Structure 1
């Protein structure tokens, strides 16, 4: 089979958002949001601050109530979701090392007892993937913002996800970290992992995403990057006032 005709494996789910409405109190956050995410694809969501991107992700993760239909079609009985938040809020004075953080996030055994032998190989592999294995004994508070973001990426890899939800993962990364992220994105695509990716770096989205949804409370476009990220569409997306409406 030639490279041109090779079919990549798919382990991630197809996701369908259908007429999603989200209201908090008397404020409308999302209105009639409908689009689908292809299984095994890298699907980016772009839009202005306050446009509902993170709220949509929280809806997907079951953290916010909504109206409408949200369905995930998994290819097998194994259903593993990884999540990488935009930032990590914590007391930087805490004597918590990278190993401590990974233990707290990735194992049932209390972190103060050290890494569990069951998850230690996976944690070491994840830290190696993001280039942080040599800093595993450093305090989290002593890391740069980009290094902490790499650790967040590492915890999202355990257990190996079929669906990976990323909330602006590139926001704090330096050039080396961006190269790490792009390498990871390529490996997720090869493995057929579904990636739903909120991102503000439109140039990165144009290069790396399979499809892009423009969201400003409503879906303003949903297309391949070359068709979606045109000056006219971006002007319409970012010129629309994104602040959620108060219900009458």
Structure 2
């Protein structure tokens, strides 16, 4: 089996509709009537300032935060697998946890101390190979660089093969080699028809790789193709506008 074959099976990601989604925590307005659509099988980037609500919007999509408004996933067939790659991994670096141990804990129901199950061993090996971490499977997670840990997080997001993949700043800790790995993966996902929702601060990467871009600063300030969205005027508005004070009257 080639490395590309599992991706070829993961076709037809869902479309996602956000309709007047709002979120208030305490007396703080986090999201204000957010409405836009993510097309099926597209790479859709979410950009905006820190504190603008990007990660909170992702958490509403994952069912981790209460919200008003409507949020719907339109699967082309039966509901599929949702993969998630967080921005960073917080753990005790003194733990004697190897890369294989971490992958076992994240990807299988069998307790990690029993080792990799035969059912998942092949998929885990393939995922680590695709992110360039196959030769470091026995290394302790705490001994890896930040970029290497981010590659391992990318690998766990591939198991089982997702039809919807949510990425929270996956490039933030990657070195140049890791960025190249990520960009190859993103092209693979595009070709496989996987829907990708991607929070990213690297606007040059977004311009090159995304199909569509939504600018979010509590509310949607633009939603367009990268060429239309990432203009100096629109970016200035996105990163300097404060749509509403943080507290509610």
* TM-score normalised by the chain length of structure 2: 0.95
Q: Which residue of 2 aligns with 1:6?
A: none
Q: Is the 8 A contact 2:219 2:243 kept in 1?
A: no
Is the CA contact 1:164–1:193 (under 8 Å) kept in the aligned structure 2?
Answer: yes
Asked if 1:146 corresponds to 2:147, the answer is: yes
**1:217 corresponding residue in structure 2:** 218
- SS of the residue 1:44 aligns to: strand
Give the unaligned 5+ runs of structure 2: 1-9
Q: Offset at 1:77?
A: 1.1
Distance 2:243 2:167 in 1: 21
Q: What corresponds to 2:27 in structure 1?
A: 26
1:121-180 deviation line (CA, Å, top 9, x unaligned): 100010011000000000000000000000000000000000000000000000000000
* 1:239 equivalent in structure 2: 240
Match of 2:64 in 1: 63
Alignment partner, residue 100 of structure 1 = 101
Distance 1:46-1:244 versus aligned 2 partners, 3 A rule: farther
Cα pair distance change 1:223/1:124, threshold 3 Å: same
Q: Does 1:50 align with 2:51?
A: yes
Check if 1:40 corresponds to 2:38.
Answer: no
User: For each residue in 1:167-215, what CA deviation from the matched residue of structure 2 results, as whole angstroms up to 9, or x when unmatched?
Assistant: 0000000000000000000000010000000000000000000000000
Q: Is the CA contact (8 Å cut-off) linking 1:126 and 1:158 kept in structure 2? A: yes
Q: Distance in 2 between matches of 1:247 and 1:78?
A: 37
Residues 1-248 of structure 1: pairs in structure 2 closer than 5 A: 10-241=11-242, 245-248=246-249
List per-residue Cα deviations over 1:96-133 (Å, max 9, x = no partner): 00000000000011000000000101000100110000
Q: Does structure 2 retain, via aligned residues, the 8 Å contact 1:45–1:215?
A: yes
Alignment RMSD: 1.1
Provide the residue aligned with 1:3 in structure 2: none
**Residue deviations 1:43-75, cap 9 Å, x none?**
000000000000000000000000001000011
**Aligned partner of residue 95 in structure 1, secondary structure:** coil
C-alpha distance in structure 2 between counterparts of 1:122 and 1:131, whole Å: 14
SS in 2 for 1:219: strand
Q: Is the 8 A contact 1:43 1:195 kept in 2?
A: yes
Q: Give the Cα–Cα distance (whole angstroms) in 1 for the partners of residues 144 and 244 of structure 2.
A: 34
> Quick check: 140-149 or 72-81, which moved more?
72-81
- Whether contact under 8 Å (1:29, 1:244) holds in the other structure is no
Cα distance between partner residues in 2 of 1:77 and 1:120 = 26
1:13 & 1:247 partners in 2: Cα distance? Answer: 35
Q: 1:127 to 1:244 in 2, by over 3 A?
A: farther
Find the aligned partners of 2:79 and 2:248 in 1 and give their Cα distance: 40
Aligned counterparts of 1:153 and 1:243: Cα–Cα separation in 2 = 35
- CA distance in structure 1 between the partners assigned to 2:147 and 2:244 by the alignment: 29
Secondary structure at the counterpart of residue 69 of structure 1? strand
